[in-house]
C-alpha cells in the first residue's frame, strides 16, 4: 500500500477537513455545564455520523450515567497490530467570555491558527486521527493496522464513567498499543513524544475553631484563629527553598538518569522565554535542578485555593470559626498516591495546633506515568513524526497528570504512546484557545505514517 497517495489525498482535502473540524468546534460540548447537555449529545452524534461516513464499523453511541462515549472500529486481521486511539470530545467552560478575541464556538482562523474552545483540547487532535484514517480508507479502502477508536465526553470532568466502562469492556478494548493525542509539542517545529507524566494527590483541609465567628477585638489574643492556624500548618509543608517537608516524601522519587538530563538540556526550551511568557517576577524551583527537570521529574506542592473569614471589600474584624484550603501534590515515579496521602495526613495531624480541629479530605489521586521508550513502538512513532514534520522527534515528559492514561494502561495492560500536536501557549483551559494549523496538517500526515510504521512493529 503506497503511502504517498494517502498523504496526497490528505493534502488535497485540507480545506474540506478544516471545514469539518470547524463544524466539530462549533458544537459547545461543555461537559461541566448542565445547560449544555444537549450540545454534548449533539457532539456525540456528530462524531457518530463522521465515523459512519469515514467507514468505521460497529459504530455506537454508548450512553453512560452522564455523557455518552462514542466508539468505532476497523478490524482487518488478527495478525495485524490493534491500535486503540483515545480522545475526548467534551470541552472546558469558556468564562470569562469577555477575554475571548472571537467567540469561543465560532472557530475563527487568524494568523495560521484556528481559535475556539476545544480546538487543541482535544477536538482538533481527535479530528486529525479521524482524517488520517479517512485518507487511508479513501485511497486504499483499508488501513495497515486494526483500529479501535474511543472518544469520551467527560474528560474535563474526571472521566468518571469511562473508567468503569473500560473495566467492563476489556475484551472489546483489547489492543497492542494505546495512542493518545492530547498533549503538546515542546516548541513549534519539534515533534514530540511524551513518555512521562506526573501523578497527583489532591486534598481539602478544613480547620475548625470556635462554634461561631468571633469579634477580633473581643477575642483576639485569647483564641486560636483558624486562619492563623491554617497558615501555620501550610507554612510547614515546604521550606523557603521549596523542599517539601513531609517525612519520607522523597523516598521513592526516581532519580533522573544522566541520559535524561543530557537529553532535556538539548531540548529547545528557553528558561528566560518561559519566564517572560508567564510574566513571573522570577522563577522558583529547586536549585539543584533545571526548570524542565523540576517540572517533569520532581514532585511539587501547591496550594490551589484558600479561603476563610471576610473576603469582601472593606474591613471586618472577625475571627472566623473556619478556614479552608485545597492542596495538591504532583507526584513522580515511583511515588504512589495512596502512600503519599497517608504520609501527608500523618504529617498534617502531627503539626496541627491542638487549639483547633482539622479535617483532611482526599479529593482525588492519580499515579505518575512513565513509558519504556525502548519499546519498538516508540522508535516507529519517532520515525513517523520525523517523516511528517521533516524533523527528528524529541522525547519529553510533562508536568501535568492525565489520570485516564494510567487507568487505561493498567486495566488493559498495554503501553501508551502520547503524541500531542498542541503548542506552548495554546490556552487549553483559558480564553483564546487555539490550534496551530500547520500542526493540524502535519499531524494528519504524521498519523498516516504512524499507522503504517506501527504495522511493522512486533508487539
**What residues between 358 and 397 interact with a second copy by CB under 8 A?**
363-364
Q: How far apart are CA 73 and CA 153, in angstroms?
A: 18
- Our finding on whether 328 is near a second copy (CB under 8 A) is yes
Residue from 215, 350, 391, 392 in contact with a second copy (CB under 8 A): 215
Report the nearest approach of a second copy to the CB of residue 369 (Å). 12
Closer residue to a second copy in complex, CB, 165/274: 274
CA torsion sign for 276, 278, 281, 282 is negative
- Choose one: 6-14, 59-67, 237-245, 386-394; the region binding a second copy (CB under 8 A): 237-245
The phi and psi torsions of 17 (rounded to 5 degrees) equal -55, -45
Can you tell me whether residue 145 is helix, strand or coil?
A: coil
Please report whether residue 302 would count as binding a second copy according to CB under 8 A. Answer: yes
- Look up cell 501550610; give the residue: 234
- Closest approach, Cβ 183 to a second copy, in A, equals 11
> Under a CB-based contact definition with an 8 Å cutoff, are residues 155 and 123 in contact?
no
Which of the residues 140 through 199 are near a second copy (CB under 8 A)?
198
Exposure b/e, 104-137, CB count within 10 A at least 16 = b: bbebbeeeebbbbbbbbbbbbbbbbbbbbbbbbb
Task: Give the length of the chain.
Answer: 459
Least CB distance to a second copy at residue 36 (A): 18
> How many residues sit close enough to a second copy to count as binding (CB under 8 A)?
86
Q: CA-to-CA distance for 262 and 264, rounded, in angstroms?
A: 6
Residue with cell 519529553: 396
CA distances from 221 to 214, 215, 224, 317 (A): 12, 11, 8, 13
Residues with active-site annotation: 90, 155
Q: Taking a C-beta distance cutoff of 8 angstroms, is the pair 200, 327 a contact?
A: no
Does 305 sit near a second copy (CB under 8 A)? yes
Out of 37, 64, 210, 263, which residue is the one contacting a second copy (CB under 8 A)? 210
In this complex, which beta carbon is closest to a second copy, that of residue 327 or of residue 435? 327
Q: Are 130 and 50 in contact (CB under 8 A)?
A: yes
* 158 φψ region: left (φ > 0), alpha (ψ -120 to 50), beta (else): left
> Per CB under 8 A, does 349 bind a second copy?
no
When the beta carbons of 278 and 458 are compared against a second copy, the nearer one is 278
Alpha helices by DSSP H, listed for 27-123, are 37-54
| Cβ nearer to a second copy, comparing 241 with 342 | 241
* Residue 449 binds a second copy, judged by CB under 8 A: no
Conformation bin of residue 376: beta by default, left when phi > 0, alpha when psi is -120 to 50:
alpha
Which residue's CB is nearer to a second copy, number 220 or number 390? 220
**Is residue 404 a contact partner of residue 159, using CB atoms and an 8 Å limit?**
yes
> Residue 314 interacts with a second copy (CB under 8 A)?
yes
Candidate ranges 16-24, 213-221, 406-414, 435-443; the one touching a second copy (CB under 8 A) = 213-221
Q: How many CB atoms lie within 10 A of CB 458?
A: 7
Burial class from Cβ neighbours inside 10 Å (0-12, 13-18, 19+) for residue 77 reads exposed
Q: Kindly identify the residues of this chain, within the stretch 80-99, that bind a second copy according to CB under 8 A.
A: none
Report the residue from 62, 80, 253, 318 that binds a second copy according to the rule CB under 8 A: 318
Nearer to a second copy, 16 or 283 (CB): 283
Residue 53, number of CB atoms within 10 A of its CB: 12
Instruction: Tell me: does residue 303 bind a second copy (CB under 8 A).
Output: yes
- Kindly write out the interface string for residues 422-441 of this chain, putting x where it contacts a second copy by CB under 8 A and - elsewhere: ------xxx-----------
> Closest Cα partner for 89 from 131, 47, 149?
47
Q: Does 352 engage in binding with a second copy (CB under 8 A)?
A: no
Q: C-beta of 190: minimal distance to a second copy in Å?
A: 17
The interface region with a second copy, picked from 68-76, 143-151, 353-361, 410-418 by CB under 8 A, is 353-361
| Contacting range for a second copy; rule: CB under 8 A; set: 83-91, 133-141, 232-240, 441-449 | 232-240
Stretch that binds a second copy, among 49-57, 60-68, 233-241, 373-381 (CB under 8 A): 233-241
CA distance 166 to 412: 8
Q: From the CB of 60, what's the least distance to a second copy, in Å?
A: 30
Least separation, in Å, of the C-beta of 105 and a second copy? Answer: 22
CB of 136 to a second copy, least distance (A): 34
Closer CB to a second copy, 72 or 365, in the complex: 365
Residue ranges in 266-285 that form contacts with a second copy under rule CB under 8 A: 274, 278-285
Q: What span, in angstroms and rounded, lies between the C-alpha atoms of 410 and 337?
A: 15
For residues 70 and 49, the answer to whether their CB atoms sit within 8 Å is: no
Question: Closer CB to a second copy, residue 216 or residue 415?
Answer: 216
Which of 252, 326, 336, 375 lies at the binding interface for a second copy (CB under 8 A)?
Answer: 326
Whether the link from the prior residue into 96 is cis, omega within 30° of 0, is yes
Amino acid at each position: 500500500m503506497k503511502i504517498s497517495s494517502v498523504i496526497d489525498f490528505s493534502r488535497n482535502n485540507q480545506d474540506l477537513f478544516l471545514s469539518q473540524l470547524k463544524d466539530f468546534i462549533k458544537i459547545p460540548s461543555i461537559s461541566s455545564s448542565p445547560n449544555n447537555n444537549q450540545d454534548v449529545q449533539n457532539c456525540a452524534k456528530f462524531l457518530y455520523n463522521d465515523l459512519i461516513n469515514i467507514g468505521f464499523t460497529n459504530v455506537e453511541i454508548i450512553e453512560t450515567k452522564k455523557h455518552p462515549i462514542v466508539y468505532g472500529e476497523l478490524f482487518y486481521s488478527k495478525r495485524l497490530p490493534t491500535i486503540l486511539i483515545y480522545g475526548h470530545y467534551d470541552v472546558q467552560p469558556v468564562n470569562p467570555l469577555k477575554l475571548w478575541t472571537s467567540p469561543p464556538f465560532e472557530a475563527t482562523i487568524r494568523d495560521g491558527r484556528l481559535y475556539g474552545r476545544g480546538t487543541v483540547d482535544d477536538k482538533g487532535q481527535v479530528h486529525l486521527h479521524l482524517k488520517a484514517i479517512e485518507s487511508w480508507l479513501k485511497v486504499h479502502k483499508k488501513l495497515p493496522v486494526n483500529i479501535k477508536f474511543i472518544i469520551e465526553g467527560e474528560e474535563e470532568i474526571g472521566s468518571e464513567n469511562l473508567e468503569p466502562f473500560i473495566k467492563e469492556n476489556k475484551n472489546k478494548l483489547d489492543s497492542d498499543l494505546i495512542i493518545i493525542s492530547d498533549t503538546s509539542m515542546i516548541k513549534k517545529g519539534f515533534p514530540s513524544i511524551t513518555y512521562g507524566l506526573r501523578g497527583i494527590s489532591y486534598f481539602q483541609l478544613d480547620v475548625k475553631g470556635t462554634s461561631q465567628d468571633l469579634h477580633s477585638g473581643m477575642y483576639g489574643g485569647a483564641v486560636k484563629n483558624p486562619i492563623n492556624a491554617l497558615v501555620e500548618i501550610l507554612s510547614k509543608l515546604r521550606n523557603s527553598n521549596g523542599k517539601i517537608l513531609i517525612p519520607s516524601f522523597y523516598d521513592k522519587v526516581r532519580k533522573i538518569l544522566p541520559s535524561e538530563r543530557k537529553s532535556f538540556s538539548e531540548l529547545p526550551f528557553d528558561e528566560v522565554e518561559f519566564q517572560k511568557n508567564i510574566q513571573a517576577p522570577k522563577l522558583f524551583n529547586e536549585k539543584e535542578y533545571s526548570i524542565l527537570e523540576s517540572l517533569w521529574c520532581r514532585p511539587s506542592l501547591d496550594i490551589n485555593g484558600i479561603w476563610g473569614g471576610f473576603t469582601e471589600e472593606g474591613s471586618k474584624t472577625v475571627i472566623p470559626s473556619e478556614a479552608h484550603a485545597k492542596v495538591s501534590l504532583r507526584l513522580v515515579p515511583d511515588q504512589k498516591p495512596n502512600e503519599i496521602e497517608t504520609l501527608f495526613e500523618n504529617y498534617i495531624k502531627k503539626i496541627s495546633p491542638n487549639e483547633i480541629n482539622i479535617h483532611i479530605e482526599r479529593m482525588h489521586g492519580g499515579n505518575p506515568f512513565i513509558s519504556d521508550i525502548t519499546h519498538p513502538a516508540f522508535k516507529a512513532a519517532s520515525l513517523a513524526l520525523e517523516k511528517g514534520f521533516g524533523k527528528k522527534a524529541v522525547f519529553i515528559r510533562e508536568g501535568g497528570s492525565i489520570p485516564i492514561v494510567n487507568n487505561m494502561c493498567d486495566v488493559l495492560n498495554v503501553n501508551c504512546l502520547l503524541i500531542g500536536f498542541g503548542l506552548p501557549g495554546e490556552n487549553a483551559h483559558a480564553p483564546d484557545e487555539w490550534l496551530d494549523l500547520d500542526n493540524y496538517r502535519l499531524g494528519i500526515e504524521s498519523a498516516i505514517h504512524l499507522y503504517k510504521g506501527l504495522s511493522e512493529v512486533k508487539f
